[in-house]
Amino acid sequence: MLINGLLVFLGGGIGSLLRYLVNFVTQIYSFNQIGTLFVNIVGSFLFGFLIVFSKDRSEYFNIFFLAGVLGGFTTFSQFSYDVINLQNESSFYSIIYIFTSILLSVLLAFAGMVLANRILK
């Protein structure tokens, strides 16, 4: 149990740092919400890929990468905050952001699973 908690802690720190760096860079070159959209769809793709790819891996691999790194990398709380901020600017942009985020995240999670299955065959 202690080792699992440590793996989540370390992986979460790495994922959170990666999310911070992505948001930092995207705020320089783009609008705020693109960083959150990017981490969530890339994180969904990686989660879909790793859930298939790591079937035969150790429990520690899954805990570190899935719960830790990807749990720290992706963010629903920032997504919610972005929706509220966009709502204050425009209902249309808020709705587009919600549907784009959800649709792309689910599609890329599926694409990650398909890719992992093809690689493993």
Q: Check residue 56 and give its pLDDT.
A: 85
**Helices of type H across 54-90:** 59-62, 70-73, 76-89
Please give the structure tokens belonging to residue 40: 């969530």
Q: How far is CA 8 from the centre of its chain?
A: 15
d(CA 108, CA 39): 12
Choose among 87, 82, 86: nearest CA to 38: 82
Span 54-81, pLDDT tens digits: 988 899 999 999 999 999 999 998 999 9
d(CA 111, CA 117): 10
pTM: 0.90
Span 65-121, pLDDT tens digits: 999 999 999 999 899 999 999 999 888 999 999 999 999 999 999 999 999 999 998
